[in-house]
Amino acid sequence: MKLLIIGGTQFLGRHLTTAALAGNHEVTLFNRGNHPSMANAERIVGDRHSDLHKLKGRHWDAVVDTCGFLPDNVRALAEVLSDSVDRYVFISSVSAYADFSVVGVDEAAPLKSLSSEQLAEANAIDSSGPSSAVNYGKLYGGLKALCEAAAERVLPGRVLNIRPGLIVGPDDYTDRFTYWVVRTAGGGEVLAPARPECPVQFIDVRDLAEWIVRMLERKATGVYNANGLPGMTTMASLLETCNETSSGKASFTWVSEEFLLAEPVWAWTEMPLWMPEAAAPHMKGFLLINCDKAVAAGLSYRPLQETIQDTLSWWETNCSGEKMKAGIDREREQRLLEKWHAEN
């Protein structure tokens, strides 16, 4: 196949490129050139906001849009490529769903919507790259849903919408999973959030990328949730596996939700993968998304130990000494642990 990847040099895009090249596919990357490109992949340097004309006059079997956040930009790309690609793969998000108060949300569940005022607000935000997604906050899920619809309107029946949850593994620039891997490897007493049996859900970026390439080879279309199996991993099993993988020098102190909220410790950012149960019942199903459709279509998972070990090796080789973008800093963690022990 001939594949066009929008982005292609960071995290999921990078692993998609690797998987496609490993499958002997021809890959063209379209991006702004801010990050090193991949060997054996053609690069077209340009900005999706202003340089789409550079894609005209070419043909690819499929395009994979890894960094679409605004519906107008997705529509514009789809229109330019409507006669140049057979299929459009849009990397969406489970955040597109409207209601997480129930467990087992599947692809048929209602999606979020935005008012015209919210959409205008989103269009005023600079969306020049994937990192800008954090600026959208509460608009993010609704924007992803509208992007899906925009692609489908231009290319009806030719779109594959992938809705991942938390993507983890080597090259993850968010550090939300990596925090636990690195912190546990550092040993000592580790502050662990709430109940050990709380479910967590994520997918290794390589499992996701390799499956997307297989779906492209099958010429698949439609909508698929792409996440880990719901209920397969708990917070305790994740931390224990991190500990076993990195020589077992950490001990875990499980601190109550009430204590964390009173301090306050911010869920998902300071305590990655923690979703308060009592304080956020509307998010009950956020880490228990149904992925049966993707599994039936061949999505498979490598062992958790492999994800942890490879993430740790990548971090130690490329990021050691850097301040992490997620997770609580060690000094605050120690103060909180001391306070917890004094009160309990």
Domain boundaries, the chain: 1-164, 174-201+229-285+304-344
- Give the residue among 99, 103, 146, 98 at the shortest CA–CA distance from 123: 146
What percent of the chain stands above pLDDT 90? 89
Residue 125: pLDDT over 80: no
The DSSP call for residue 52 is: G
Question: What is residue 136's predicted lDDT score, i.e. its pLDDT?
Answer: 65
pLDDT tens for residues 82-121? 999 999 999 999 999 999 999 999 999 999 999 999 888 8
How many Å apart are CA 267 and CA 265, to the nearest integer? 6
Is residue 213 pLDDT above 60, yes or no?
yes
For residues 276-282, average pLDDT: 91
Q: Rounded to whole angstroms, how far apart are CA atoms 302 and 204?
A: 8
CA distance 78 to 117: 24
The runs of H, that is alpha helices, within 23-87 are: 71-81
Partners of residue 257 on adjacent β-strands:
none
What's the pTM?
0.95
112: DSSP letter: P
* Structure confidence by residue, pLDDT tens digits, 303-334: 999 999 999 999 999 998 899 999 999 999 99
Section 51-61 average pLDDT: 96
Report yes or no: 260 and 254 within 8 Å, Cβ to Cβ: no
Helix (H, G, I), strand (E, B) or coil at 252: strand
For residue 69, CA distances in Å to 73, 93, 166, 250, 297 come to 8, 11, 17, 39, 26
Q: 149: number of CA atoms within 13 Å, CB side?
A: 14
For the domain spanning 1-164, the CATH number is: 3.40.50.720
The pairing of strands 159-164 and 85-91 is parallel
For domain 174-201+229-285+304-344, the CATH class is: alpha beta
Give the model's pLDDT for residue 130. 41
Cα(129)–Cα(115) distance, integer angstroms: 24
Tens of pLDDT, residue by residue over 13-25, are 999 999 999 999 9
Q: Looking at the predicted structure, is the pLDDT value of residue 204 above 60?
A: yes
pLDDT(206) > 70? yes
